[in-house]
Structure 1
Amino acid sequence: MIGLLAAFFSSFIATLLIIRFQHLHSHISADSDLSGPQKFHKISVPRIGGIGIAIGIFVATLLRLQSHDGVNIEALLVMCAIPTFAIGLTEDLTKKVSVKTRLTFTAVAALLACIYLGAQINRLDIPGIDYLLSIPAIAIIFTVFAITGLANAYNIIDGFNGLSSMVGIITLMGLSYVSYAVGDPLMMYLSLVMAASILGFFLWNYPRGLIFLGDGGAYLIGFWVAVVTVMLVARHDNISPWFALLINAYPILETLFTIYRRKFHQGKSPGQPDGIHFHTLIYRRILNPICHAHKDDLFTANAKTSPYLWALTLFAIAPALLWWDSNVIQITFLLIFMVSYVWLYKRIVTFRTPGWMHHY
């Protein structure tokens, strides 16, 4: 409990200090580009919120090291996360780091987690595939790809106040629940300590957007969620491997759909930004027009966007938690989620948004 409180308050205070003294660092830390396809803020805002989250995790880890002999798993996870957080933070400060470079550093972090934490995907409960995953080299390559992809997915969905951070909190709380159900206090703690650190940032980010998560924060959250998910499934054979997919279904599907849309529909590089993510469509087609009609502040429309995606996240996570040990049910709800996502996206993009989504 002390570690969780330390993580929350350290993150909360560190984020407050970043905001309070932004005049000292805004020349390198602020997101002053207000014209990009994924820019929906109206003033320059610091985008180094990941520092607060990292400080929260670091302080909690130091406390754990003082009360435990030797290097613990949490400390190893923190060290493994350094490359992906560092390269993300570098992008936040310089705006000059390519997507390929960020993915490369994240892949290195994932490889370190495979080696030092035993975070490896070694089964999907599919004959033939499981045989291939029993070969260490193949399992490591597959795991590195999966962890890197999910870390990047959290950066992709980080489009509005509180969106990526709350998705991370919801997912981590789900992981902590299943950890408790299978009697794994370590995985439960790793889930809760990151959730506590994110919450310290979230209270400053949502709803007013006083600070942004940034690439450093998004990659750190996504990497942590990915590694804990992989480790939890690897440590307990009674957890369905498809649980890992369903509990992370929203960011994964958003990423896959983004790659498909950019590469095959737009003929662009998947790394180029565009303005038609699911969250962007909700903002532009549902909330922005309503806020205009009600003479509301557009900034409020930003904050109102995220709850739609939080609900979508819960739509996948709820069945993942209820039937975490059943392959059949996990796969069934994964397919239902995929169909629902594509159906909703198509309805919104063609100006046929379901009436129940216009509740304001």
Structure 2
Amino acid sequence: MFYVVLFFLSFALTYFIKNYATKKSLVAEVNERSSHSTPIPHGGGIAIAVTWFVGLSYLFLRGEIVSSLYYALMVGVILAVVSYLDDLYELSPKVRLVTQSGVAIGGLVALGGLNSLDFGLFSIENQLIANIIAFVAVLWFINLYNFLDGIDGYAGSEAIFLGVAGFLLFGGEHFLVLIVSVLGFLIWNWHKAKIFMGDVGSTLLGYTVAIFTIYYANEDPVNLWIWIILFGVFWFDATYTLAKRYFNGEKLSVAHKKHIYQRLTQAGFSHDRVVSMAMGMNVILFVLVYAVSRY
């Protein structure tokens, strides 16, 4: 019953935010990076954030989530608030970077840092080096998720996939909270989208995935690679595109439409077909990870 309530909370909040944003003309304008031809209300990620934090707090009060994980995830409140302000007022890159850095540090402190990094043939046991890498990874996860939130249903579907995969592999009701929090929004965001999540949703989801990765890596170093593989479709697209633009001498701060998912839509694939293709790849990655982890 609890998860049904959370789902309807997310669903209803998204509906009200959509209507309010439309009334106040709080829409995502079409620009050179857009994959849409008409302005669409944004800020729907508030519904995800509110439902997510309410659900997490309920689990914490019932003693069903480890305190270190709870506090690390709740640091995301700061990121969500600042990201929503960015949606409204377009904050400077410096403000965004300082906020994301502070949140990354806060999350790592709450988790007690990253214990080590195991690369198979060698490992990094020095915690200072391991946590510098973890800090950079959190920032990258936050931003790459934002980069990949460009077509209807894509970012939301990825979050639900990771929630389902996390629950099947590791258990934990926080994954169920994540699933229903995003699902209520996704119904309004599916092609053709009636509202976008905005930075408030995409940056929060990226941060959440980063915290899951570090938390479970501390339980078993192999879990770090499990999460990276599960998140592979997103991080490969973002990392490959960034590296390619860098080596081509392009200015990385300039908006573009060169991600793989964007090129597919430019080639004539519909948004829902691109999302379905990505989710199909995710299922293959999950089956591989599940089989190897059980072996």
Q: State the alpha-carbon separation in 2 of the partners of residues 272 and 325 from structure 1.
A: 44
- After TM superposition, the runs of 4+ consecutive aligned structure 1 residues lying more than 6 A away are none
The one-letter code matched in structure 2 to 1:45 is I
Q: State the alpha-carbon separation in 1 of the partners of residues 276 and 65 from structure 2.
A: 42
Structure 2 match to 1:123: 117
1:43–1:121 CA distance, 2 compared to 1 (3 A): farther
Q: How many residues align?
A: 295
Shift of 1:127: 4.8
Alignment of 1:344-359 (within 5 A): none
Q: Deviations over 1:101-132 (max 9, x none)?
A: 4344223212111111235261224454x2xx
Structure 1 match to 2:11: 12
The one-letter code matched in structure 1 to 2:83 is G
1:316–1:69 CA distance, 2 compared to 1 (3 A): closer
Structure 1 match to 2:45: 50
Residue among 317, 320, 329 paired with 2:289: 320
1:124–1:69 CA distance, 2 compared to 1 (3 A): closer
CA contact (8 A) 1:176 1:189 kept: yes
| TM-score, normalised by the number of residues in structure 2 | 0.90
The one-letter code matched in structure 2 to 1:53 is I
Residue among 233, 240, 251 paired with 1:269: 251
Q: Which has the higher contact order (CA 8 A, sep 6+)?
A: 2
Alignment of 1:115-264 (within 5 A): 115-118=109-112, 120=114, 122-128=116-122, 130=123, 133-180=124-171, 188-236=172-220, 239-264=222-247
CA contact (8 A) 2:115 2:127 kept: no
Q: State the alpha-carbon separation in 2 of the partners of residues 324 and 246 from structure 1.
A: 12
1:106–1:276 CA distance, 2 compared to 1 (3 A): same
SS at match of 1:21: helix
**Higher CA-based Rg:** 1
The one-letter code matched in structure 1 to 2:100 is T
SS at match of 1:151: helix
Shift of 1:225: 1.3
Q: State the alpha-carbon separation in 2 of the partners of residues 84 and 223 from structure 1.
A: 9
Residue among 300, 305, 311 paired with 2:280: 311
Structure 1 match to 2:89: 94
CA contact (8 A) 2:79 2:200 kept: yes
Q: State the alpha-carbon separation in 2 of the partners of residues 155 and 70 from structure 1.
A: 27
CA contact (8 A) 1:90 1:97 kept: no
- Structure 1 runs not aligned, ≥5 long: 181-187, 288-300, 327-360
1:60–1:231 CA distance, 2 compared to 1 (3 A): same
Percent identity, aligned pairs only? 21
- Pairwise CA RMSD of aligned residues? 2.4
Shift of 1:87: 2.8
Residue among 272, 280, 288 paired with 2:262: 280
Q: State the alpha-carbon separation in 2 of the partners of residues 225 and 70 from structure 1.
A: 16
1:136–1:57 CA distance, 2 compared to 1 (3 A): same
Q: Deviations over 1:318-356 (max 9, x none)?
A: 312221367xxxxxxxxxxxxxxxxxxxxxxxxxxxxxx
Residue among 107, 117, 134 paired with 1:113: 107
Shift of 1:220: 0.6
